[in-house]
Structure 1
Amino acid sequence: MSGGRSLTGAAARLAGRRAEVWAAAWLMLKGYWILGFRLRTPQGEIDLLAQRGGVLAVVEVKHRASLEAALEAVTQTQRERLRRAGRAIAARRPSLQNLAVRLDLIALAPGRWPMHSPDAWKGG
């Protein structure tokens, strides 16, 4: 791998981590408890896991130019994996077993406030 390419990958990872920290802060301002960052499961990696009331939110964080672009960046296959991962985590933790698992999106764009879309794909 060339040096320029590895720097680009490192910059992208750093930008992703920054976006996740911003997203977590935004959710906390909205009353969510952040239960985990970058949770690796056999089904896939969850960017953020958050809880508010009776909802366990599996949160995908995307930094794109628009909400539409962020929504489109997550494929149907990825959404299914994320839902399975959230259900698997909830099933293993007694304190989470009775929560409704929901797939949310936090979209970040340059110069704009984060946009939180609860149940972003409405079961799709």
Structure 2
Amino acid sequence: MTGKGTGNGSEKRRRARRAGLRAETAAAWFLRCKGYRIEAKNLRTPLGEIDIAARRGGTLAIVEVKRRPDAADLGSAVTAAQQRRLVNAAGWLLSARPALARLTVRFDVVLVAPGRLPLHLPNAWQA
């Protein structure tokens, strides 16, 4: 018997994870084209995951990548709880890699929607 929804959950999660990884790859390439050096990608810390840590000059951008099927949904993509998690994860990264601690840290968002160039929002919030 195959009911609606039986067995679909794990496949949906796999598809969503793959789509998220593609969005992060697109965002990383977009940032490289803007002159950033990718210091870390998909970094899992004890305090949360950092999608991308990218450096340009004396600035380290901690980047949250958000993929949405529709560009209209992109504006409210990062919640206050996600911001706190990223701030904490960034603190862990800076303690683990002291050379990065000398840089000015900011929090960026890259919004990715199908059929559009990624949208980079530097300094999306203050820690």
- The answer to whether the 8 A contact 1:57-1:103 is kept is yes
Deviations 1:20-61, CA, capped at 9 Å, x for gaps: 000000000001111111111122111111111111111100
- The answer to whether structure 1 residue 53 and structure 2 residue 64 are counterparts is no
Q: Secondary structure at the match of 1:111?
A: coil
Q: Distance in 2 between matches of 1:54 and 1:70?
A: 28
What is the aligned partner in structure 2 of residue 108 from structure 1? 112
- The answer to whether the 8 A contact 1:19-1:62 is kept is yes
Question: Identity of paired residues, percent?
Answer: 48
- 1:14-29 equivalences in 2 (<5 Å): 14-29=18-33
Q: Tell me the TM-score normalised to structure 2 length.
A: 0.88
Q: Tell me the TM-score normalised to structure 1 length.
A: 0.90
- Which protein has the larger Cα radius of gyration, Structure 1 or Structure 2? 2
Q: Distance in 2 between matches of 1:43 and 1:118?
A: 23
The residue identity in structure 1 corresponding to 2:65 is V
Deviations 1:74-100, CA, capped at 9 Å, x for gaps: 111210120121122112212111111
**Runs of 5+ unmatched residues, structure 1:** none
Could you tell me which of 67, 82, 85 is aligned with 1:81? 85
Q: Secondary structure at the match of 1:14?
A: helix
Runs of 4+ more than 6 Å apart: none
What is the aligned partner in structure 2 of residue 37 from structure 1? 41
- The answer to whether the 8 A contact 1:90-1:99 is kept is no
- The answer to whether structure 1 residue 99 and structure 2 residue 103 are counterparts is yes
Q: Distance in 1 between matches of 2:48 and 2:75?
A: 18
- In structure 2, relative to structure 1, the CA distance for the partners of 1:8 and 1:83 (3 Å cut) is same
- The answer to whether structure 1 residue 119 and structure 2 residue 119 are counterparts is no
Alignment RMSD: 1.6
